[in-house]
Amino acid sequence: MSHLASRRSLLLGSLASALPACDARSSNGAGRAAFWYSYGGKNREVLERLLARFHADPRRPRIDATFQGDYFESLAKVRTAIAVGAAPAMTHVVSEVVPYLAEAGALEPLDGYEGAADLDLVPEIAQSGTYEGGARRPLLAIPFNRSVPIMYVNGTMLERAGVAIPRDWGELRAAANALTVRRGAEVAVWGFECPVSWLFWVALVASAGGRVVDEGGTVTLGGDAGARALDLWQTLTHRDRVMRPPLGRDYNAWQVGTQDFLSGRAAILWSSTAFLRYIEENARFPVKVAPLARDHRHAIPAGGTFFVLLRAAEEREKRAAWQFLRWMTEREQTMEWATSTGYLPVTRAAITELARNGFYDAHANDKVVLGELGSVEPWPWSPTLFRVQREIMDPLLEDAVLQGTNAAEALAKGRREALLP
C-alpha cells in the first residue's frame, strides 16, 4: 500500500465516528444529506426542535445532523473530510473562514439554486455586507446564526454601586474599578470580564479607528489602534486588577465568563448575543445589555457563522441540503431561532414581523441588539484572515495579557508572523 493510500485510510478511519451512515436516498425517495454543526446547549435544543419539524413532512429529505465539536474542531474535521473525499453536504463556519474555503474552491456556488435570489436577507449580516466586496462575488454563504459582541451588565450591582452603564473606555475603566469587590488579597467580584479573544480585540481596534487588514490586503493588525486596544486589556488586568486574567482557550474562556456573570462573580461581561436568551433565563438578577464601550467611535464586527454547501459532496445530497437551508431561512424558522437564542434574525421579513407583533417592545435587550446592525463593519475578503486569527492573534493576545508584555512590540511580532508563507 502506498504512503498516500495509507494516509487516506488513516484519515478515513479517524472520521468514522463523525460520519453518519448517509445514503443520498431516504426511505420516501426525497433524498437525504449530512449536516455537520457546532451548536451546543440551548442552541442545540432549538436546532433539534426545528429539525424535528422539518422531518415531520414526509415529502422533505432527511437531514442527518451531527454535532462535531466547537467551530474550530468542526472545521478541522471538514478540512480532513474534503481531503479524503468524504465531505458532508452542509456545515456552518465562522465569517473569517468563508474567504479561506472560497479561495480554496471548497464551497458550492449557490446563485443557481432555486430561490437563492429571493431569500430577503438582512444586508449587514449577509455575504453582501459582511465582506468588503461581498455583493460582487458569487453567492457562497447564507447567514443564519449571526451575532454581534455586546455588553451584559448586572443591573442590581450597577444600581447598588450607583454606576451608570459605561459608554466609552474611560467610563468602562471607572465602572470596573467601582464594581470590583476585594476581600483581602482575593477578588470576590470582578468589575469586568471579557474573553481575551480575536472578536473582541477586533471590536476594540475598530472602535479606536483601526483596521486589521488595510485596503491593499496587507495585515496591519490595526497599527496604533491595535496596540491601544491590547493595552486597555493589560491596564484593566494588571494595573487596575479589575478584569479577570484569561482563563482557558477558545470557547472555554467564553463559558467561564458566562458562569462568572451568572454566579455574581462579574458585574460587567463582554460576550456574544448568541448567549442572550440563556443568560436571561438563568440570571437571578436584572440583565441589561448595551453596546460595547467605545473609543473614538462605535464600530463592531459581526460574529457567528454562515451555512455553506461543500462542493465536493454529491449533487443530490447538496440539493437535499439546500431544501433544508431554504426552509431554515423562511420567516417563521428565522423568527423562532432568533427569539429562542439571541442571534440576529437574518431576513428583513422576520424583523418586520417581530416589530409588528410587539416582540421588540416586550424584549428591550433584543431591541438593543437589533440596533447594533447599524454599527457593523465588514470583514476584509482575505483568505489569510483565518490563519492570522487562529495561529497568530489568539495565542498572542492571551500571552500578552497574561504576561503584560509591551503591546506595540507584541503586535509587531504578530505582523512579522503574518507575512510568513
Residues 389 and 364 reside in one and the same domain: no
Residues 165 and 222 reside in one and the same domain: yes
Q: In tens digits, what is the pLDDT along the chain, a chain of 421 residues?
A: 444 343 344 344 445 444 544 455 554 567 999 999 998 888 999 999 999 999 999 999 999 999 999 888 999 999 999 999 999 999 999 999 999 999 999 999 999 999 999 999 999 999 999 999 999 999 999 999 999 999 999 999 999 999 999 999 999 999 999 999 999 989 999 999 999 999 999 999 999 999 999 988 899 999 999 999 999 999 999 999 999 998 766 668 889 999 999 999 999 999 999 999 999 999 999 999 999 999 999 999 999 999 999 999 999 999 999 999 999 999 999 999 999 999 999 999 999 999 999 999 999 999 999 999 999 999 999 999 999 999 999 999 999 999 999 999 999 999 999 987 6
Residues 349 and 252 reside in one and the same domain: no
Residues 203 and 330 reside in one and the same domain: no
Q: How many domains are contained in the chain?
A: 2
Distance CA 341, CA 279 (A): 10
Residues 361 and 327 reside in one and the same domain: yes
- Residue 271's contacts (CB-CB under 8 Å, 6 or more residues apart) are 149, 150, 152, 194, 195, 254, 257, 258, 261, 279
CATH code, domain carrying 203: 3.40.190.10
pTM for this one? 0.90
Residues 245 and 391 reside in one and the same domain: yes
Residues 73 and 161 reside in one and the same domain: no
Q: Domain span at residue 81?
A: 3-147+303-375
